[in-house]
Amino acid sequence: MKRRAAWWLLRFAAVGGAVVLIALLVVTTGLVPIKASSGHWAITAWFLEFTKDRSVATHSLAVTLPPREAAWLVMKGAGHYEGGCRPCHGSPGLPLPRVAGAMTPHPPALAQLVSQRDSEQLFYVIKHGIKFTGMPAWPTQQRDDEVTAVVAFLEELPHLDAERYRQLVFGPAPAPSSAPSLVATQCERCHGDDGRGRGSAAFPGLAHQRRQYLVNALEAYARGDRVSGIMGPIAAGLRPDQWGELADHYSQLPSEGRLANLSEAPPPDPARIERGRQIAAEGLPQLGVPSCSDCHGPAPHQRNPAYPLLAGQYADYLVLQLELFKERRRGGSPYAHLMDKVASRLTAEQMRDVAAYYASLQAMDGQTTER
Amino acid sequence: MSTKSAQPHLLTCARFALAFAVLPLGKGSTLEPAGLAADRVATLFWVLTIGATVIWLVVVGLALYAVSASRRPQSPRGSSLLIVGGGVIFPTVVLAGLLVWSLSMLPGLLAPAPAGSLEVRVTGYQWWWRVEYLGAEGATIELANELHLPVGEPVELQLESHDVIHSFWVPALGGKMDMIPGRRTRLRLEPTQVGVYRGVCAEYCGTSHALMSLVVVVEERQAWERWLAAQAQPATSPGEALFLEQGCGACHTIRGTAADGALGPDLTHVGSRASVGAGVIEADVPGLEQWLAKTAHLKPGVLMPSFGMLPPPELTALAQYLAGLR
């Protein structure tokens, strides 16, 4: 009895050893085809797909989505999709781009896929990417709000035809642009050909912003000091002299009136604007919050050109920046830390007040005495 | 421990000592009194010390006597006398006497200064002192971390706190008094000798509690009046444009300019002060430059952000402007 068991054990060990040896031999000789051109065997494809689906389903259980009521999130996600996702995943009217078609596995066409996935699964995949597939993680792990914008857009995607997609990404049929080609290819789609951000807080207005601030912002994005998975890669793809070129362009664009006028949002409550005006002018000395206007205007004296102008900017964009400052997730130029303690001491309501005040200002208000 | 690991440790200690080295702001010993209240406190200290010493000597003497006394039996009467007299009556009489005498000092120490005395409001902040001279017509003259007093006159300090509990203590001039948020406490000082004295916060109040000093300058009435008149003047030094340009006016006031911030110290005559940062560094050009560039490093937890990102020439120009505000 004992001898029989030992005999079987020996046979198993011999077979197992032989299998491992052969596997090592196959890998070492380089016989395994790693080429993408031939695709997967059906069984490999099924196994990888099954593993991936199970992994995403399980890991996305822990995801809590950030709030995504804001209507402009879809537009923000669309703007990024066109530059960051479309080259591989295609878009309505352009199902699978040529190069992506040569990848193994093929990047899926998302319109059909998203209806089979819940929002948390989309969020998980966009934020973390998928190993061995060419799907990258979001370039920063600190901007869940940006990931959420892409989720919001993807959930709209199944309802879009080619024309509606084009409108969402580029806005109403644009006049032939007179802008420099760099602006046309890199910036205009989102920030508008007039530099005013296409009427929603998805994209900040840049027209007539101060040149130094714009250069600093692009440099900070490029170096990763200002944290963004959307603007970071765009800025990092520019040469340093192009930062100046773009800043020249936008700082010289005229910007009269309020950007908020462009948006369809209901006008804010005058009492809110008044509360915001007080905070901007006097700060909240009891809470240790200084005035905003000494650095950001309106104020009669000259101000450091590294401090951005806020007059006429979209309120939701300003609130987002304050929240990011408060959570230490914004970053920025070497001047950005000036805002840390200020934003930390503001409540969500006070942020909305002060943002509503700046959004209500005529853009020129803050720019009367700039150097 | 090997020398290799000990050396960095020593270096760290040295750096710490350097970072927290205190500026020689003035005399700060409670045993060299220069004010009426401090004088009484010092007297109390010496009397209590001497009293305690006497008791100690007697008790130790008795203990030695008990050990070395001959084996010959003591009379019960003598023993009872010794135990009751030395163990009960003597300490009771001495301690009660000292208690009554020290309590009798309190009314004098707590009495407000006579009506019409100089009144100064001092407000504690994390971690500095706002000082406001209350003028006759309701006008206030504001400065920070520095108090000038005329010699030989009682002064009434109104003590308040902006945030947490602080305690106002100038050891050479008087006792401590807590500064409590939402409440006003009072302290009477009456300096008796001209000189410069150091004050401190005597109640732990956060990260930079140890870096919260106050300078008290006691001078002759005439010199003090000249000083106060100078402090009442608006700023005279030119060059505020750079100060305003960086947004400094959001937190700081410089009277006579557009800077009207209420968060931080009034800087109208900051160049005339012994230090900036409540005793952290000298208020001269190199000191101010350091302070502007490395604020959070010099004073951990400070509300003011560091301005080390400014180009060095601008930092120097700012420091020169501030040092010029005399």
Chain B, nearest residue to A290 by Cα: B250
Top-level class of domain B240-323: mainly beta
Q: Is residue A358 within 8 Å of A315, Cβ to Cβ?
A: yes
List of chain A residues whose C-beta atoms are within 8 Å of the C-beta of residue B249: 294, 301
What pTM did the predictor assign? 0.88
CB contact (8 A) between residue A294 and residue B262: no
Q: Is residue A97 within 8 Å of A170, Cβ to Cβ?
A: no
CA atoms within 13 A on the CB side of B147: 33
CB contact (8 A) between residue A291 and residue B303: no
Percentage of residues in chain A with pLDDT exceeding 90?
74
pLDDT by residue for chain B (326 residues), tens digit each? 344 444 555 555 555 554 445 577 788 888 899 999 999 999 999 998 998 898 899 889 888 988 887 777 778 888 888 888 878 898 889 889 889 998 998 888 888 989 889 999 999 999 999 999 987 677 789 999 999 999 999 999 999 999 999 999 999 999 999 999 999 999 999 999 999 999 999 999 999 999 999 999 999 999 999 999 999 999 878 888 999 999 999 999 999 999 999 999 999 999 999 999 999 999 999 999 999 999 999 999 999 999 999 999 999 999 999 999 98
Q: Is residue B259 within 8 Å of B240, Cβ to Cβ?
A: yes
Q: What is the pLDDT of residue A231?
A: 96
CB contact (8 A) between residue A290 and residue B263: yes
Cα–Cα distance, A89 to A184 (Å, whole number): 23
Chain A, nearest residue to B302 by Cα: A341
Q: What is the pLDDT of residue A172?
A: 77
Q: Is residue A33 within 8 Å of A104, Cβ to Cβ?
A: no
Nearest to B242 by CA among B325, B314, B326, B320: B314
Please name the residues between 248 and 307 in chain B that touch chain A, using a CB distance below 8 Å.
248-251, 258, 261-263, 303, 305-306
Chain B, nearest residue to A281 by Cα: B250
The 3-state DSSP class for residue A111 equals: helix
Superfamily of structural domain B120-231? Cupredoxins -  blue copper proteins (2.60.40.420)
Q: Does B182 touch chain A (CB under 8 A)?
A: no
Q: Which of A301, A302, A303, A354 to mutate to test the interface with B (most CBs of B within 10 A)?
A: A301
Chain B, nearest residue to A288 by Cα: B263
CB contact (8 A) between residue B245 and residue A300: no
**CA of A139 vs chain B CAs: smallest distance (Å):** 27
Take residue B278 and report the two structure tokens written for it. 């409540």
Q: Does A224 touch chain B (CB under 8 A)?
A: no
CB contact (8 A) between residue A302 and residue B309: no
Question: CA separation (Å) from A18 to A11, A15, A150, B214?
Answer: 11, 5, 50, 84
List of chain B residues whose C-beta atoms are within 8 Å of the C-beta of residue A299: 258
CB contact (8 A) between residue B241 and residue A302: yes
Chain B, nearest residue to A285 by Cα: B263
Give mean pLDDT, residues A65-78: 91
Q: Which of B309, B314, B315, B318 to mutate to test the interface with A (most CBs of A within 10 A)?
A: B309
CB contact (8 A) between residue B261 and residue A335: no
Q: Does A291 touch chain B (CB under 8 A)?
A: yes
Please name the residues between 352 and 371 in chain A that touch chain B, using a CB distance below 8 Å.
none
CB contact (8 A) between residue A337 and residue B246: no
CB contact (8 A) between residue B263 and residue A288: yes
Written as one letter, the residue type at A163 is E
Cα–Cα distance, B80 to B198 (Å, whole number): 53
Cis status, amide bond into A268, omega within 30 of 0: no
Question: CA separation (Å) from A219 to A145, A331, A359?
Answer: 22, 12, 26
Q: What is the pLDDT of residue A260?
A: 60
Terminal-to-terminal C-alpha distance of chain B: 52
ipTM of the complex: 0.85
Chain B, nearest residue to A339 by Cα: B305
CB contact (8 A) between residue A337 and residue B305: yes
CB contact (8 A) between residue B244 and residue A294: yes
List of chain A residues whose C-beta atoms are within 8 Å of the C-beta of residue B262: 283, 285
Cα–Cα distance, A109 to A112 (Å, whole number): 7
Take residue A22 and report the two structure tokens written for it. 């052969």
Terminal-to-terminal C-alpha distance of chain A: 98
pLDDT in tens, A9-18: 999 999 999 9
Burial per residue of B117-140, b for 16 or more beta-carbon CB atoms within 10 angstroms, e otherwise: ebebbbbbbbbbbbbbbeeeeeee
Residue A360 clears pLDDT 70, i.e. is over it: yes
CB contact (8 A) between residue B250 and residue A295: yes
Average pLDDT, chain A: 90
Chain B, nearest residue to A303 by Cα: B245
**CA of B217 vs chain A CAs: smallest distance (Å):** 29
Angle of helix A42-59 relative to helix A119-128, nearest 10 degrees, comes to: 110
**CA of B262 vs chain A CAs: smallest distance (Å):** 6
pLDDT in tens, A157-174: 999 999 999 999 988 766
Residue A129 clears pLDDT 70, i.e. is over it: yes
pLDDT in tens, A245-295: 999 999 998 877 666 655 556 777 899 999 999 999 999 998 999 999 999
Q: What is the pLDDT of residue B73?
A: 74
Q: What is the pLDDT of residue A88?
A: 94
Question: CA separation (Å) from A251 to A40, A183, A370, B169?
Answer: 52, 13, 12, 55
**What residues form DSSP beta bridges with B167?**
B178
Q: Does B317 touch chain A (CB under 8 A)?
A: no
Q: Does B245 touch chain A (CB under 8 A)?
A: yes
Q: Does A335 touch chain B (CB under 8 A)?
A: yes
Interface contacts A/B by beta carbons within 8 Å: 53
CB contact (8 A) between residue B250 and residue A291: yes
Residue A237 clears pLDDT 80, i.e. is over it: yes
Q: Does B309 touch chain A (CB under 8 A)?
A: yes
Q: In the structure, what pLDDT confidence band is assigned to residue A366 with cuts at 50, 70 and 90?
A: very low
